[in-house]
A and B are shown apart, each in its own frame.
Chain A
Amino acid sequence: DAKTTQPPSMDCAEGRAANLPCNHSTISGNEYVYWYRQIHSQGPQYIIHGLKNNETNEMASLIITEDRKSSTLILPHATLRDTAVYYCIVALVNDMRFGAGTRLTVKP
């Protein structure tokens, strides 16, 4: 079973920041927080991952709380192409359990 809790759906206005929350209160000390997204009819796409520190790459930022029990994925300037299902996963790389994710809809 997935170890995370995410809202089933969210909307975001184009050009605004999209903040996707994830609760993972049972995360173990050596488990990473991974974020993937899946655009319709495509395979999941890696976005970002982190252990303790906040992380940023060209796609997004990942903010992990100090107690590691929750995190937020931030898409700084959402575009229509960011409409997708976003999965938050806590695991080692070879033991990923996907939940249902959050369906993010970016609206014009």
Chain B
Amino acid sequence: EAGVVQSPRYKIIEKKQPVAFWCNPISGHNTLYWYLQNLGQGPELLIRYENEEAVDDSQLPKDRFSAERLKGVDSTLKIQPAELGDSAVYLCASSLGTAPFTDTQYFGPGTRLTVL
């Protein structure tokens, strides 16, 4: 079974430029998560989708970050414009979403963003 797929794996951009990250969750997983991970710290949740609905986006900086999950499968996370402080690893995870008390999250490899 294929795991969570993310692309690109690495991205280098100049500040004020836009950037987008793509995530394909495990087939059949209804819940999708985007996390941000700064160096030396644990992942921090940005947004959680249940199918195509964003049910928790309280930590998403909405002035420059946006996300979508069309048709409840793939998802895209966008930053526009990027700032130096956005340099981090962006992780996508998915879970079945049918059994919240026994389910588990499965993570992709992440996209490492460097903003110059």
Taking Cβ atoms with an 8 Å cutoff, the residues of A that contact B are 2, 30, 32, 34, 41-46, 49, 51, 87, 92-101
User: A42 and B104 in contact (CB under 8 A), knowing A94-B95, A100-B41?
Assistant: no
Residues on A with C-beta less than 8 A from B110 are 42-43
Known: A44-B105, A94-B56, A94-B100. 7 other contacts (CB 8 A): A30-B101, A43-B91, A43-B109, A46-B104, A92-B101, A93-B100, A94-B97
Report chain B residues within 8 Å CB of A43: 4, 91, 93, 107-110
Flag B17-49 by CB within 8 Å of A: 1 or 0 each: 000000000000001000000001111110010
Question: Could you give 26 example pairs across A and B, Cβ below 8 Å?
Answer: A42-B109, A42-B110, A43-B91, A43-B93, A43-B109, A44-B43, A44-B91, A44-B93, A44-B105, A46-B106, A49-B104, A93-B100, A93-B101, A93-B103, A93-B105, A94-B48, A94-B56, A94-B95, A94-B97, A94-B103, A95-B56, A96-B45, A97-B45, A98-B42, A98-B43, A100-B40
**Would A94 and B104 be within 8 Å (CB), given that A2-B42, A43-B4, A87-B42 are in contact?**
no
B47-69, CB < 8 A from A:
48, 56
Q: How distant is A5 from chain B, measured CB to nearest CB, in Å?
A: 13
Interface size class of B (residues with CB under 8 A): 20 to 34
Q: Which residues of A contact B108 (CB under 8 A)?
A: 43
Interface hits, B86-116 → A, CB 8 Å:
91, 93, 95, 97, 100-110
Cβ-defined partner of A99 (8 Å) among B42, B100, B107: B42
CA gap between A85 and B97 in the complex, in Å: 26
Closest 6 A/B residue pairs (Cβ): A98-B42, A43-B107, A93-B103, A44-B107, A46-B104, A98-B43
| Cα-based distance from A68 to B9 in the complex (angstroms) | 39
